[in-house]
A and B are shown apart, each in its own frame.
Chain A
Amino acid sequence: MKDFCYKNTRRQISYFILFFLTLGSIYTIFFPNVLVAEMDFENILLPISWDHWMGTDSLGRELLPRVFYGAGVTLSLGVLSSFTSLIMGSIFAVLVTELRPSLRRVALRGLDLFLSIPQFIFMVLISVNVFILFEKYKTIIPVDRSWISYFSLWAGISFTHWATAARWIQGFIQEEWSKNYVNSAFSIGAGRFRIFHKHIYPNIKKRCFLLWLTLLPSCILYEGVMSFLGFGINPPQISLGILINDGWRSLSEYPHLLLFPSLILFLFVWSINGLINRK
């Protein structure tokens, strides 16, 4: 945690940006009535000005609250899926460490090879599959379409990121088990579970938190990519990817529709990366 407190200009800027973006997106998520701001057909597709900080879209709505709402959806999905993948990865890592060495080598080799394939293909296949399954059993589980797309994207991203988390956490656990104090604990009669619970877990806890922060930018970016390509969040719901996809069609005439959502996406990723970087 000491790493977070250095006097560093980049880290201070990152804190500042992250604080304001998170605050804005949480505000628009919890008070979404700023979104329904009246459609104003007199003022469609205006560029940036003092009255319209990010301009207006094709229905005359303000872009600013829409972008922040989309950022909130993206951020929540990123936080949720990276957290799930961290949990899944740590369960896998703990179980793998308990295997006998030959089996463990096979499992880790499989994990490595799984990680060497472009993860995007699995992400698309899983989220499309989950989406279709929910559509099929719509009568049994009546869920709104936008929630189905949210859930399927969550499943897709978590399913592909747990392997990265598992690989790292397995390394942490392995490193702790091979230290000398573990041998001393064994010699005074502590069991495996007790050593894990009392010594290993407190020692890797902070590193796991940092790992969660390193998974977060990747999850946020994948949300943008999937929604942009049309496999993610479904259009009536807003997310950064959807907004970028909307703006993409009119890039030459109205660049503000595209550049502001993608700028927010970039700022999120840059500030998280800048925060966790040690340098």
Chain B
Amino acid sequence: MFKRLGRVFIIGGTTVIILLLFLNFLLKALPGGDLEWPSSVQNQIAKDFFSRSSFQFILDMLIGNFGFSISYPDHHVLNLITEALGSTLKLALPALILVFILAFVFSFFGAIYRNSWIEKWVDEIFILFLSLPVLFLAPLLIYIFSIRFNLLPLAFLNSFQSYILPIGVLVVRPLARFGTLLKEKLIWESEQPYIMVAQSKGLTPLQILFSHQLKGTLTLWVRGVGMVMLSLFSGSFLVENIFSISGLGQLFVNAISERDYPVVAALVYFLGSSFIFLNLILESLQEFIDPRFFSKERT
């Protein structure tokens, strides 16, 4: 247990420091220090931000001393990020649960009715979902549901109805990606010898699925958390801009367009380190569940 946690911290910490060095290199190449800002406070913040040494920059990032935002000089960057993280998670967590439920339903029918028209149509639906870009789906749904029939609100997160469109748009691509993997894994499990033993004992296909096959897919679900979260956060950069939701994605895009480098640096550090640690923790969880998965031959 402690060995695993220690390994997570050592590998994660090293990668985060490499990430910060790379980020420092990118920010030093930007001519942000020479820009003229409207007010003297903003000029002071920009000067403080760019006049630090690389070592000081990394140290400040690691202890969470992000400083002030340039475009909102009266806000701490940390406060901006925590506020935005709230609304991003309000979208991402329901979407994660929805992806898992829908992927299970689709791949369940695909795996139970193998080699029939149902499996064929599940495959077609996954291909369609995989290639539905947000840029096509979001305007289409907004036009149909909000403008034509005036059923759902088209922006902001005010009421329960306003969550439907953004979550529906976000879910589509991760659902296709995770559902394909889950269906293949379920079919692969159903060809294993232990399923034949269970069949010869007289279990029904549903009993076999719920008591044997699903247990075999457990590592895939753990891996799926990281995969789907990555997909959802990548999608949120666009979805939050389209639906005017003040989340991390909108914060990042606005910060890049307004040259608000303290916010950009803090966001890259925050997103990067949280995803690195999430993946490392999920990886050691998979190793704990199924040790043969990570034998020496891996990589």
**Binary contact track B213-240/A, C-beta < 8 Å → 1, others 0:** 0000000000000100010011001100
Q: Tell yes or no: A10 within 8 A of B by CB.
A: yes
Other-chain contact of A121, B134, B267, B280 (Cβ < 8 Å): B267
Within 8 A of B (CB), among A4-38: 10
The reply to whether B276 and A251 form a contact with Cβ atoms under 8 Å apart is: no
The reply to whether A118 and B271 form a contact with Cβ atoms under 8 Å apart is: yes
Q: Tell yes or no: A183 within 8 A of B by CB.
A: no
Q: Tell yes or no: B290 within 8 A of A by CB.
A: no
Q: Which of B36-44, B50-58, B120-128 contacts A (4 or more CB under 8 A)?
A: B120-128
Interface size class of A (residues with CB under 8 A): 35 or more
The reply to whether B139 and A113 form a contact with Cβ atoms under 8 Å apart is: no
The reply to whether B131 and A217 form a contact with Cβ atoms under 8 Å apart is: yes
Q: Tell yes or no: A185 within 8 A of B by CB.
A: no
**Binary contact track B167-208/A, C-beta < 8 Å → 1, others 0:** 000000000000000000000000000000000000000000
The reply to whether B136 and A119 form a contact with Cβ atoms under 8 Å apart is: no
Q: Tell yes or no: B94 within 8 A of A by CB.
A: no
Least CB distance, A32 to chain B, in whole angstroms: 24
Q: Considering the complex, give the chain A residue whose CB is closest to the CB of B133.
A: A221
Within 8 A of A (CB), among B12-54: 15, 18-19, 26, 29-31
The reply to whether B256 and A270 form a contact with Cβ atoms under 8 Å apart is: no
Q: Considering the complex, give the chain B residue whose CB is closest to the CB of A135.
A: B31
In this complex, how many residues of chain B approach chain A with their Cβ under 8 Å: the count is 47
The reply to whether B256 and A108 form a contact with Cβ atoms under 8 Å apart is: no
The reply to whether A108 and B299 form a contact with Cβ atoms under 8 Å apart is: yes
In the complex the two chains form, what is the Cα distance from A277 to B132 in whole Å?
Answer: 15
In the complex the two chains form, what is the Cα distance from A134 to B299 in whole Å?
Answer: 39
In the complex the two chains form, what is the Cα distance from A269 to B129 in whole Å?
Answer: 11
Interface of A is mostly: helix
The reply to whether B131 and A270 form a contact with Cβ atoms under 8 Å apart is: yes
Q: Tell yes or no: A263 within 8 A of B by CB.
A: yes
The reply to whether B276 and A116 form a contact with Cβ atoms under 8 Å apart is: yes
Q: Tell yes or no: B101 within 8 A of A by CB.
A: no
Cβ of A272: which chain B residues have Cβ within 8 Å of it?
131
Other-chain contact of A269, B133, B241, B278 (Cβ < 8 Å): B133
Q: Tell yes or no: B253 within 8 A of A by CB.
A: yes
Cβ of A229: which chain B residues have Cβ within 8 Å of it?
237-238, 241, 253
Q: Tell yes or no: B67 within 8 A of A by CB.
A: no
Interchain Cβ contacts under 8 Å between A and B, 20 examples: A108-B299, A116-B226, A116-B278, A117-B271, A117-B272, A119-B234, A125-B268, A129-B30, A132-B29, A225-B237, A230-B257, A244-B139, A251-B139, A251-B142, A252-B143, A255-B139, A262-B140, A265-B136, A270-B128, A273-B131
Going nearest first, the 5 A-B pairs with the smallest beta carbon separation are A262-B136, A270-B131, A269-B131, A116-B279, A266-B136
